[in-house]
Amino acid sequence: MDGRIELIDATKEYKHAGSPPVSALNCVNLSIRQGEFVGMVGLNASGKTTLARMLNGLILPSRGKVLVNGLDTADLAQKKEIRRLVGMVFQNPDNQIINPIVEEEVAFAAENLNLSPAEVRRRVDWALEVSGLADLRHHAPQMLSGGQKQRLAVAAVLVMQPSYLVLDEPTSMLDEDGRYELIKTLQDLNRQQRLSIIMISHRMEEVAPAERIIVLHQGTVYLDGPPAEVFRSPRFALAGLKPPPIARLTNSLLRQGHPIDDRIVTLEQMVEFLCR
Amino acid sequence: MLLDPRSKMIMVICISSLALIYNTPARLLQLLLVTLVLLFIFSFNLRVIAGYLKPFVFLMFFLFVVQSIFSPGDRVILALGPVSLISIEGVLAGATVVLRLLVITAAAMLFTTFSSRDFILGLVQWKVPYEIAFMVSTALRFLPLFRDELKNVLTAIQLRGVDLKKVPWGKKMVMYRRLTFPVVYRNMLKAEQLAIAMEARAFRAYPQRTYLRQLNLQRVDYVVILLSLLVTFILIMRYIG
Ligand SMILES: Nc1ncnc2c1ncn2[C@@H]1O[C@H](COP(=O)(O)OP(=O)(O)OP(=O)(O)O)[C@@H](O)[C@H]1O
Ligand SMILES: [Mg+2]
């Protein structure tokens, strides 16, 4: 089994009676390897949510195909396995919490997978641990902060032991601290568990640490590559986007002839470079 | 007291059945006292009980007045010329309705002593299909959400400079009717998002489901359940017979 998600000519048109069809995605070809950390950006209505929901079959392409580790999302018989392989975290933490106690919320997905009670227990404990919620396990989710709620949403998906984690603007309702905690948790998961992260965001400094950035524009993949290249590309501005401050700093330093590593796009990288 | 949620459910059902069958204020008053004693046993205090019942006070008063006026009776207390307005029978009928409501709402407080999750678990272990138990508990959970949403919309209106207290009743009704759409719509959006989140987490992926926790009926539960059923049965038989 090859570990990757592949979109082949994936196209999505929304049709509603009485209004003209909306083309949300247009012939998208993409391949996301297992273990990759991918940031996805683009203006409003560029098709990000549509693409994200296609990755685990919540939305099926009108034309083209989506393969998850070789399994076609349109194949009903594979639905269970695809849902398990590709976990989803949504924007609003409050609308995805189903259970009244943190621990039970985390258990929900594992309970749905027909596992033994001991295995459910083991996975719940593990997920609570890696998302830093072990101390809050008996709390009511309403008592958590926004950042804790989103980490709860992550933990609630981790119990399925997915290979890919798709997050649709998970930080947009969080404050500075909450965003930091969540991103940190995601980076740890990516490095330690080799979990692929596909994260949508409107904040460039959040996707800058990713290995790869995909820019969507009017339903097509407009740019795709390492952050530094994507931020520097003239097409990035054409897609209506602005690089994060550090990338801009690196660029102007380069233009003024300073010998600086042109891959620097995050504050951490800049600090490390300057201290060397 | 640590009782299985199912024992509490049975108790609520027994009390409510008695409340529906009893038809005199005296009997219902006795039942209310028993219910209150039960609530004390489950460590509710008077303040909490009063706070819980407060939203219903207006409704109960309204029912009492309506019942008192519209129930016919011979022993007239208040008359408007030849038209009798309030009779002793009417007042008794009003008291019956109000007491009945009080007993049922007070008994329902027992439901707040366990989580909706235990409610599901209890039903499932009694062979109610998971989907149905889940639906019932989610519906119960959506009621407060509905109220919150209504509050949000009302706040939005007040922020636009409408003083709700000064709006006459007729206009208020029209306004509430207009609010129905946004409130229902927003709740539907929430429900839809919840459904997507559940689907993404393999809800109903397999016919079998594992449960992290198991509820176990203890000996005290069996005693409580049997006793509740037995006492209720005897009381009903005696009352009817
Ligand atoms: N359920 C739907 N029915 C009809 N049209 C839709 C639906 N969902 C999305 N669209 C349309 O598809 C296009 C892409 O929407 P999508 O939600 O994927 O964008 P997005 O990049 O996630 O935007 P945002 O940054 O606002 O979240 C938009 O034009 C949108 O109006
Ligand atoms: Mg979106």
User: What is the rounded average pLDDT for all residues in chain A?
Assistant: 93
- Of the candidates A243, A244, A246, A242, the one whose C-alpha atom is nearest the C-alpha of residue A267 is A246
Q: Looking at residue A2, what is its pLDDT?
A: 66
- Of the candidates A118, A241, A217, the one whose C-alpha atom is nearest the C-alpha of residue A227 is A241
Mean pLDDT over A250-259 rounds to 93
Distance (Å, whole) CA B79 – CA B83? 6
- Assess whether the C-beta atom of A47 lies below 6 angstroms from ligand 1: yes
Contact A111 B115 (CB under 8 A): no
| β-bridge mates for residue A214, sequence order | A40, A224
Q: What is the pLDDT of residues B59-89, one digit of tens each?
A: 888 888 888 887 877 787 877 777 777 888 8
Residue that wins the pLDDT comparison between B239 and B171: B239
**pLDDT band for position B231 (cuts 50, 70, 90):** very high
- Residue position matching structure tokens 């709860």: A152
A83, A88, A104 ranked by CB distance to B205: nearest: A83
- Beta strand pairing call for A164-168 and A86-89: parallel
Domain limits, chain B = 1-114+214-241, 129-210
- Of the candidates A210, A135, A129, the one whose C-alpha atom is nearest the C-alpha of residue A167 is A210
Mean pLDDT over A60-77 rounds to 95
Residue that wins the pLDDT comparison between B150 and A246: A246
Distance from the alpha carbon of residue A275 to the mean position of ligand 2, in angstroms: 39
For ligand 1, pick from A48, A88, A172, A217 the residue to mutate: most ligand atoms within 8 Å of CB: A48
Which of A13-22, A108-117, B33-42, B160-169 has the least mean pLDDT?
B160-169
**pLDDT band for position B27 (cuts 50, 70, 90):** very high
Alpha carbon distances (Å) from A225 to A162, A229, A262, A267, B123:
24, 7, 14, 20, 53
Mean pLDDT over A88-105 rounds to 88
**pLDDT band for position B205 (cuts 50, 70, 90):** confident
User: Which ligand has its closest atom nearest to the C-alpha of A24?
Assistant: 1
- Of the candidates B106, B11, B94, B12, the one whose C-alpha atom is nearest the C-alpha of residue B51 is B106
Domain limits, chain A = 35-59+75-225
Own/partner long-range contacts of B117-125 (Cβ < 8 Å, ≥24 apart): B117/A99, B117/A100, B117/A101, B117/A104, B118/B5, B118/B215, B119/B5, B119/B9, B121/B5, B121/B211, B121/B213, B121/B214, B121/B215, B122/B4, B122/B5, B122/B6, B122/B9, B122/B215, B124/B211, B125/B6, B125/B214, B125/B215
- Assess whether the C-beta atom of A24 lies below 6 angstroms from ligand 1: yes
Class of domain A35-59+75-225: alpha beta
| β-bridge mates for residue A63, sequence order | A11
Distance from the alpha carbon of residue A201 to the mean position of ligand 1, in angstroms: 15
User: Which ligand has its closest atom nearest to the C-alpha of A40?
Assistant: 1
Percent of chain B exceeding pLDDT 70 equals 98
Query: What is the end-to-end Cα distance of chain B in Å, rounded?
Result: 35
* ipTM summary value: 0.78
Residues 6 or more apart from A94 whose CB is under 8 A from it? Answer: A149
Q: Looking at residue B194, what is its pLDDT?
A: 84
Q: What is the pLDDT of residues A160-213, one digit of tens each?
A: 999 999 999 999 988 998 899 899 999 999 999 999 999 999 999 999 999 999
Contact A272, A209 (CB under 8 A): no
CB pairs under 8 A between A and B: 86
Distance (Å, whole) CA A144 – CA A152? 9
B115, B198, B205 ranked by CB distance to A98: nearest: B198
Q: In what order do the strands lie in the sheet with A63-68?
A: A19-33, A4-16, A63-68, A71-72
Mean pLDDT over B36-46 rounds to 88
**pLDDT band for position A4 (cuts 50, 70, 90):** very high
Tell me, yes or no, if B193 comes closer than 8 A to chain A by beta carbon: yes
Contact B202 A92 (CB under 8 A): no
